Structure 1
Amino acid sequence: MGNSALKAHIETAQKTGVFQLTEKGLTEFPEDLQRLVGNLRTVNLSSNKIEVLPPWTGKFSVLKSLSLNHNRLTRLPEEICKLKKLETLNVCGNHIANLPADFGQLSALKTLTLSGNQLRAIPKQLCTLRHLDVVDLSKNKIQAIPDEVSGVQAIEINLNQNQISQISVQISHCPRLKVLRLEENCLELGMLPQSILGDSQISLLAVEGNLFEIKRLRDLEGYEKYMERFTATRKKFA
């Protein structure tokens, strides 16, 4: 992409607060964006070939949405944790195995998309994100849901297409969790805590494509209570 075209995009972004440049084969985060660290509210650089985010990414003081889907990132820099206004972070289809240690400092974060990365565990840092609504961890290599999950504030957790065979009973204590997606994992029926059905807020449990037939869910204690929540939610949105 030519310098003049990039310059035009940056001039537009200066006025609109939005910088979007997708599918342009970019190999690095455009350096000229440093001039706009105080203006930009939205940055979308999805479907490029970016491998590294520069430390100055942490200086975008008013940034609300950052999308870097389908790039070549192996990690996120620690400096990204300084983005106090960030509400949406989309980094699906990269090679990220871990989140920065201080990721929990992204206090405004509401939507986190990490689908299609290299995560082997649910990041513990999610437990300190008080405003998190939706977290998508699908298509990773996660094998278990640990006890710490009870601290996650999300309304929806998507864990489809992982390798999960164990679930902590603590998941039923997630205070706001309404939607739990566990399709296409390695779950046996006996590994599904019955408290999810009988003793949680969860009103949509998606477990198709595991190691048991869906109709066997009906045999579990608490299934009727779960169906009451499921039906009530459906009526609300009908």
Structure 2
Amino acid sequence: MEPIELKFFQQLKNDTVDHDFLLVYSDWLQERGDPRGEIIALECALLLDRHKNKAEIQERFDYLMQEQIDALNLSSETLEGMNLTWVLGSVIRIKVHNGEEACLTTLGKVVTNTRQLVFLFSLTLSGIGLSEVPEWVSQCSQLTELDLSDNNIGELPDWIGTFSLLQEFYLSDNNIAGLPNSLGLLSQLTLLDLSNNNISELPDSMVKLNQLTEMTIWNNSIKVLPDFLGKLGQLLKLNLGRNNISKLPVSIGQLSHLEKLDLWGNDINELPNSLSQLEQLQELDLGFNSINKFPTSLIKLRQLTVL
């Protein structure tokens, strides 16, 4: 991807598209015979709403957009099985709600062979009965959001770690029993939802996920929390409810930004004094555990409003 394309992608992703830059990018595309260049120019003209021939501009824009859709070579049945979000001549989001093999195979061919999807940053394959992650998903290298929730996925492929830009990863309601070490390569991840699976342990490689602000591992089979948990220092919300945890690591006190901690429905019988170091903690759920005594040091948690 050329530098000017990278800049366009960043602006798309952050929803901070600059009008002057768009015109420069439009010219750059048109010089290369890319129809998206004219689409961008026309869309800018429509947004400015200063042209007397607005109807003609709209007609030309609609014609070019239909050409872009036709260029995907998707049957009407396949198109009906998904929602495509187009912005400035490119698809930025795909949400699939038809899990039939033919639909997924066709989409896979489009992903690997079509220029229009180079800026795809959000892919939702939720609730469509997947038993494994389709191989073609690995070609979506620009993804920042990936939703694979509510399927029958049993394991994640090692290539999942190649999504170097991924920020939000939804894997809830599957049959995942173990996590690959490559998960630790997702260095930009800020949200990870693993709730309602069969996970019994967290790989040591997850220590590298130091940009995480929200992690949900609700309703799994975790018995022991790793010491590296305290190194995930950007965490704001941590949900470990409905597991088999009996003890909290002392390192949990290092989560200095933590605001919400859910430990409901575990086997915890005592709390470490280090818990009192969570000075930003506002909500702490310890219901349905076996705790007989609370450390007096918890009085230091002055931000705590829900216990």
- 1:17 deviates by 1.6
- 1:26 deviates by 3.8
Tell me the number of residue pairs that the alignment of Structure 1 and Structure 2 aligns.
Answer: 222
Output one character per residue of 1:131-172: Cα deviation in whole Å (capped at 9) or x when no partner. 111010010001122222222232221100111111111111
Distance in 1, matches of 2:102 and 2:132, equals: 7
Kindly indicate whether residue 304 of structure 2 is the aligned counterpart of residue 230 of structure 1. yes
Distance in 1, matches of 2:287 and 2:229, equals: 22
Q: CA RMSD in A?
A: 2.5
Which 5+ residue runs of structure 1 have no aligned equivalent? Answer: 234-238
Distance 1:96 1:111, change over 3 A: same
Alignment correspondent of 1:6: 78
Alignment correspondent of 1:164: 245
- 1:21 deviates by 2.0
More helix by share: 2
Output one character per residue of 1:100-150: Cα deviation in whole Å (capped at 9) or x when no partner. 212111121111000011111233232101211101001000112222222
Kindly indicate whether residue 48 of structure 2 is the aligned counterpart of residue 48 of structure 1. no
Distance 1:211 1:202, change over 3 A: farther
Amino acid at match of 2:169: L
Point out 4+ residue stretches in structure 1 off by more than 3 angstroms: 7-16, 24-29
- 1:54 deviates by 2.9
Which 5+ residue runs of structure 2 have no aligned equivalent? Answer: 1-73, 112-116
Output one character per residue of 1:30-60: Cα deviation in whole Å (capped at 9) or x when no partner. 1333423523211111111101113332221
- 1:3 deviates by 5.1
Amino acid at match of 1:205: L
TM-score, normalized by length of structure 2? Answer: 0.65
Deviates more, 1:124-133 or 1:68-77: 124-133
Amino acid at match of 2:212: L
Which one has more relative contact order, counting CA pairs under 8 Å at least 6 apart? 1
Structure 1 residues 74-93: aligned runs within 5 Å = 74-93=154-173
* Higher Rg: 2
